[in-house]
Amino acid sequence: MKALFFDVFGTLVDFRTGVAREAESILGSAGHKLDWGAFADAWRKEYQPALEEVRAGRTAFRKLDMLHRENLDRILPRFGVSKLAEDSARNLNLAWHRLPAWPDVPGGLARLKRRFLLAPLSNGNISLMVDLARRNNFPWDAILGAEIAGDYKPKPRVYLTACEAFDLPPAECMLVAAHTNDLVAAAKCGLRTAHVARPNEHGPGIGEAAPEGPVDVAAIDLEDLAAKLGA
């Protein structure tokens, strides 16, 4: 095995806490009071339906930043936010660029980097991945994923484009993710798979504490994964 690819939202970064905190900072300072966790959940809930429009070919591929913005504009009225200044909306949309890593991630990636090529294989766009990497010290060799492939996971092309970029057969690549459905799709393309437990991804006790299907490796966190891969 030569390369590890990583899902990012939920697997490496805590989007629920991060988005809730940014929303509180930006909307709260504009006088809004709402359930910040519910707001983060609602925003994320629009994510898969928006991706599905692209995957199904009903709309053209656009960067995730654009889909996030469309989804934001859709949910704001539901929370009683009707006239948000364009600057604030743009800033809030960049909350996804400023998410915090789970505590084990920087140390785990540093260990894994000594032994493997590392790249995100996320639906997030390149600039979003770059900003998260700068903020959290993710030591990527390259930024791969949806923007390079022009489509969204779990479409096979997204996984295969990442392998091809590194000139590697899928069997020499492993996807690391906290979501079994992502791993199942990667395995169908021939990649190896590692599940990382994120039991609090969607709030306390709401997340995959263990894989919900067959995977090659199941790890508690990235330090555990590094140990299990001999890194």
Residues that bind its own copies (CB under 8 A): 65, 117, 125-127, 129-130, 133-134, 140-144, 147-148, 165-167
Residue whose CB is less far from its own copies, 130 or 218: 130
How far from each other are the two terminal CA atoms of the chain, in whole angstroms?
12
Q: How far is the CB of 117 from its own copies (least distance, A)?
A: 6
Closer by beta carbon to its own copies, 17 or else 161: 161
For its own copies, give the closer residue by CB, 145 or 211. Answer: 145
Cα separation, 49 vs 154, whole angstroms = 13
Distance CA 54, CA 91 (A): 25
Q: Give the CA radius of gyration of the chain.
A: 17
Rounded least distance, CB 159 to its own copies, Å: 15
Nearest approach in angstroms of CB 97 to its own copies is 10
Q: Among residues 99 and 196, whose Cβ is nearest to its own copies?
A: 99
Cβ at position 65, least distance to its own copies in Å: 7
Q: State in angstroms the smallest separation of the CB of 211 from its own copies.
A: 29
Q: What is the largest CA-CA distance in the chain?
A: 53
The three-state (H, E, C) secondary structure of 133-200, written as one string: HHHHCCCCCCCEEHHHHCCCCCCHHHHHHHHHHCCCCHHHEEEEECCHHHHHHHHHCCCEEEEECCCC
Q: Looking at beta carbons only, is 89 or 142 nearer to its own copies?
A: 142
